[in-house]
Amino acid sequence: MISAIITSTKLFLLVVVTILLAILALIVALIEPKGRLYNFISKVWSNTILWICGVKVELIGKEHLQADESYVYVSNHISNFDIPVVIKAIPGQLRLVFKKELAKIPIFGWQLKLGPYILIDRQNPSKAMQSLNQAIEKIKLGVSVLLFAEGTRSKDGSIQSFKRGAFTLATRSGKKIVPVTIKGTYEILPKKKFNLRSGKVKLIIDKPIEHDGNTDKISEVSLMNEVRDIIVKNYESK
């Protein structure tokens, strides 16, 4: 009974905070298109969400990043809680790639659509490529982009097969690709469940991987397999 009350209270607070900051982000997106203030509001939202839920984030590997450099981050995806974790932990100006279906959510989706994040249509290859080109343009402006390489959340907490989109983005932009491993968010909020738990999450940033910018399929798949092997190794380590 007490556990249910605590979970309900947390969910209520999450909804209220998300709506209020989404409204603020929506206003900011309309008046400041570069997205720097939007990025700040996103970090306020993520820190608040994690605090309400009693979730602490341990960041490992920040020393691998250069403050004056932008990257293509590639992460595993095991929970909705991955989003506030990466926004909080990854430094600098960060733009996430979201599935376009989220744009349909009132207020929250509207600010995603109008803001600096990138919405991708996974069902339409030509529109998906347009979204990747949009991401490349943002990278040229000095921001980093993060993609969840599996394309959707894991159903059971295991790492699924990767999609090529993130690696096409990396090769075409010429930017180094950074493997990001998230551990612990599945235990906090599994897919299709609302039993929120407090706990500790690890976010591991591996060394940036340089590549030759070759955009052929073989090169991208090879890069994809290399990054996935790194993330799987980190994820399965104790």
pLDDT digits 0-9 by tens, 34-52: 899 999 999 999 999 999 9
Give the SS3 label for residue 208: coil
| Model confidence, pTM | 0.91
Residue with tokens 């075409």: 172
62-100 pLDDT, tens digit each: 999 998 899 999 999 999 899 999 999 999 999 998 888
Task: Report the run of H or E that residue 61 belongs to, with start and end.
Answer: none
Query: Amino acid identity of 125?
Result: P
Is the domain defined by 2-236 classed in CATH 1.10.3720.10?
A: no
pLDDT digits (tens, 9 = 90+) for 202-221: 999 999 998 877 777 778 88
Between CA 213 and CA 200, with CA 145 as vertex, the angle to 5 degrees is 125
CA distances from 104 to 26, 107, 140 (A): 14, 9, 28
How far apart (Å, rounded) are the C-alpha atoms in residues 210 and 105?
Answer: 37
Cβ contacts of 209-216, under 8 Å, gap ≥ 24: 209/176, 209/177, 209/178, 209/179, 210/176, 211/170, 211/171, 211/176, 211/177, 213/171, 213/172, 213/174, 214/171, 215/168, 215/171, 215/172
Residues with Cβ within 8 Å of 3's Cβ and at least 6 positions away in sequence, in order, are none
Q: Who's near 122: CB < 8 A, 6+ residues apart?
A: 99, 100, 128, 151
